[in-house]
Chain A
């Protein structure tokens, strides 16, 4: 029984950590820019496709993945930056509805860009050296790559926390998040901060996509399948909260994987049930702040 539960907990955590990487960017963009970017997951898809191209361009060795892990998220960040500068910037002052329509348009545009560039085929990236293989731990079989993915979550969380709390840029970002007009009056270049945050969020989504590429297949439409999950995670954790996205991702991952043990047929409902429960008890999310 213990092995059964432990196995599900580990796999639930690994599911949660990838969602965390996507959801945390979405949450940051909402917290700072006050924009609900429904196309955020499309950056995730773009990251996965770039990972495929880079690993295949560089050669057959699966170790090339590590180069892709550095380059692909940067590529996505640059793409995000350009999009923010050209398209998103003019609509910050508009109503939420305009932003939703625009970012929904991004989903279609990015989808078509991907289709024109990579075609409609689906692709796969090999699990990179030296993470191939499995290890037995407390009676459960774990793949090294899963362990690596689970470890990436806390690493990124610490990185974001360090960025926000230990650097000057982080202080500025927090100031802009807290009060945009006041920061602007004090001489902070708010537009630049917005671009940086949006690029960073795109980088995180690209990182999620790159990390997922060796675990899943890379295909058109892989973005829309994770969008709902990301929203669930942010609602559970609290909009705009980094730690909340982390906690939400863990809650969501475990609800799903332990749900499979209890009621496998209805397992996909457990994430939603967790969200509903949070909405009833703490509508502003586990680590969010009531408005």
Chain B
């Protein structure tokens, strides 16, 4: 008897739990025939952090699109896959997504090396690939093609932008020390920064440089060398945990405040959330892709609030994926059919209605003209962390022109 009661009880519970869930699915959409997004990013290993910040953007956009009637009467769904930060593995997953899952477009990827492999595959398969996090300028520059898009900004424009902001904020500092990580991106970043900085401050000179490896535990020997070099400005493109280590050690040495510091990604929320009134680098500027604490629009506030309440994170990367998925849904609805070529044409020059305002997807290289935000790190009223209070917004002037892109691709 008791057994029967328990069984009935369970059946009732299952019915009661599942029934509301089923009805929560938007009515009227063809749920048996969804439009799939093939999402690639690391779900294992240290780089999982970016995935946890990026994927919520896709999910939120899907939710809003489906609630507003979906795409061509069909719902959008995301099929996430682990790329393991490895090009070969990512390719296998991409193939499976395209061949077996029949996704309409590929989306995501953090590593530029992985993104290049996926981009090549998308080109061969004539499938749209939307890069959301990977930042090498080459992906939409010399390696770019008809099928690849990028919704975030890129390293080159960030370095051009930070050179401009450095000059504006600190004035024409002449003696520069470069302390950057010893890999291709670190070297390329420094070259871009210094070339653009020299255009603004022609008599700027390099008084010293060092290239510690990523993951160095103690930068003190480098920092004492910076302090004794007579430099007025220290440039660096170390980021996340490495940058935090470097900042702690410069504060411990009293370097911050004496020598101006410029960190390409030191304004990112992942970094700034660690800063407070007792712990932040003085006389330091940092750049970010989305300075949501300084953007005072209702749209941005609503977006931050939504991501925070639904996914428990701040929208560091999510914003780019969110804007692109919505732009894509709009483009497909406009074309009226799932024809990749027609959708690409509709996306070229389209405006992404994003939380930072309208951002154009440039037709010539499929690069979104996403801005970057650079400012002096300090108190931001209303937030419990220190970040760039009034960041300078760097826009499309920092991107290479379409002619320059065409020249790069001809090579």
Contact = CB atoms under 8 A, between A and B. Distances in A.
Contacts of B209: 264-265
A134 to B, nearest CB: 5
Interface in A1-47: 3-4, 7-8, 10-12, 14-15, 18
A225 B218 CA distance: 11
Contact of B218 (A15, A115, A120, A264): A15
Contact of B211 (A127, A218, A221, A268): A268
A53 interface: no
B53 to A, nearest CB: 10
Given A122-B244, A217-B248, A268-B182, A141 B221 contact: no
Given A14-B218, A124-B274, A222-B217, A268 B212 contact: yes
A134 B217 contact: no
B245 interface: yes
Interface residues of A, number: 44
Interface stretch (A176-184, A232-240, A242-250, A253-261): A253-261
A215 B48 contact: no
A8 B254 contact: no
Interface residues of B, number: 38
A146 interface: yes
A219 B241 contact: yes
A74 interface: no
Interface stretch (B1-9, B139-147, B223-231, B303-311): B223-231
Nearest to B279: A126
Given A4-B228, A126-B278, A267-B210, A222 B215 contact: yes
A120 B45 CA distance: 8
Contacts of A265: 209-211
Contacts of B213: 225, 268
A143 interface: yes
A127 B252 contact: yes
A216 B49 contact: no
A194 interface: no
A10 B52 CA distance: 41
Q: Quick one: which of B182, B228, B278 has the most chain A CB within 10 A?
A: B228
A222 B242 CA distance: 10
Contacts of A257: 221, 224
A122 B253 contact: no
Interface string A113-132: 00100001110101100000
A267 B252 contact: no
Given A212-B218, A225-B215, 8 more contacts: A7-B227, A18-B218, A120-B46, A216-B217, A260-B210, A264-B225, A265-B209, A267-B210
Interface of A: 3-4, 7-8, 10-12, 14-15, 18, 115, 120-122, 124, 126-127, 134, 140-141, 143, 145-146, 212, 214-222, 224-226, 256-257, 260-261, 264-265, 267-268
Contacts of B210: 260, 264-265, 267
Contacts of B216: 225
B211 A220 contact: no
Interface string B227-258: 11000000000001110110011001110000
Contacts of A12: 221
10 contacts: A7-B228, A8-B224, A120-B47, A120-B52, A124-B248, A215-B245, A216-B249, A217-B245, A221-B215, A267-B210
Contacts of A3: 228
Contacts of A122: 240-241, 244
B225 A261 contact: yes
Contacts of B208: 264
A32 to B, nearest CB: 27
Contacts of A145: 252
Q: Quick one: which of B208, B214, B220 has the most chain A CB within 10 A?
A: B220
A198 to B, nearest CB: 24
Nearest to A266: B211
A146 B220 contact: yes
Contacts of B46: 120, 219-221
Nearest to A132: B252
Given A120-B48, A212-B217, A267 B244 contact: no
Contact of A215 (B221, B248, B278): B248
A11 B52 contact: no
B250 to A, nearest CB: 10
B224 A7 contact: yes
B245 A143 contact: no
A256 B221 contact: yes
B86 interface: no
Contacts of A115: 48
A18 B46 CA distance: 24
Nearest to B212: A268
Nearest to A48: B217
